[in-house]
Amino acid sequence: MKSSPAPFVRLLSNDPLLLQPRRTHPLVWCSAIICLVFCLLVIFLGVTTLIIYLVIRPKYPSFDVPNANLNTIYFDSPENFNGDFTVLANFTNPNRKINVKFDYLDIKLYFVDRLIATRALEPFSQRPEEARLEMIHLISSLVYLPPNPAVELQRQVQSNRVTYNIKGTFRVRAKVGIARFTYWLHTKCQLELTSPPLGVLVAKNCSTKKR
């Protein structure tokens, strides 16, 4: 004997929720797969870069002043002075595998907090572990100094100890694996010299920071 559908089955199939198609659209699958592959790729690249970074351990280039000469400090009037100062700079790339490029270099010379000379240097690249010596000629011509710093500079010249400050701003580019880095280095040096015309470097203090 054929039994007719049970009343509760008929009741369920009339439920509008169950009548809707339950298959996921192929387009949804497709985008989910693309998304998954993309996520895996991003994770893979990130992990690879991290491993390369940890193995190579990039270091920042260093800056030092091994020598300096104070050739001239000459007052035209009590507040206008001319100066001639030469600095030997030592740029070192301490990395064993990474080339770096200095593509912007700016050096400023200060007496106390007064800017007295400035100089831009030509960009250059450095091979791993290369040290580069660069003569930097800083000329002050008729630079105005307010009375206090002017008197202080004359006093230092008389006491045969002149303190100058150098600030360097450098933009460095480096490539590690597939990653490229660009960063700014800020160097500050305090230099103590004997008086011109044959002023020599007697003490120095250099520090370089990344920002």
Ligand X SMILES: *[C@@H]1O[C@H](CO)[C@@H](O)[C@H](O)[C@H]1NC(C)=O
Residue numbers at the binding site for ligand X (CB under 6 A): 62, 64, 66, 90, 92, 131, 133, 190, 192, 203-205
Tell me how far, at minimum, the Cβ of 151 lies from ligand X, in Å: 21
Tell me how far, at minimum, the Cβ of 126 lies from ligand X, in Å: 12
Which one, 10 or 96, has the nearer CB to ligand X?
96
Which one, 179 or 206, has the nearer CB to ligand X?
206
Which one, 89 or 150, has the nearer CB to ligand X?
89
Tell me how far, at minimum, the Cβ of 63 lies from ligand X, in Å: 9
Question: Looking at beta carbons, which pairs linking 77-80 to residues 24 or more positions away fall under 8 Å?
Answer: 78/147, 78/150, 79/144, 79/145, 79/146, 79/147, 79/150, 80/142, 80/143, 80/144, 80/145
Tell me how far, at minimum, the Cβ of 200 lies from ligand X, in Å: 13
Closest residue to ligand X, based on beta-carbon distance: 203
Which one, 65 or 138, has the nearer CB to ligand X?
65
CA distance 8 to 184: 76
Output the CA–CA distances (angstroms, integers) from residue 122 to 47, 146, 170, in the order listed: 36, 32, 11
Angle ∠(154,160,162) on CA atoms, nearest 5: 65
Which one, 86 or 190, has the nearer CB to ligand X?
190
Burial (CB < 10 A; 0-12, 13-18, 19+), residue 163, is: middle
Tell me how far, at minimum, the Cβ of 55 lies from ligand X, in Å: 23
Structure-block tokens of residue 206? 């250099």
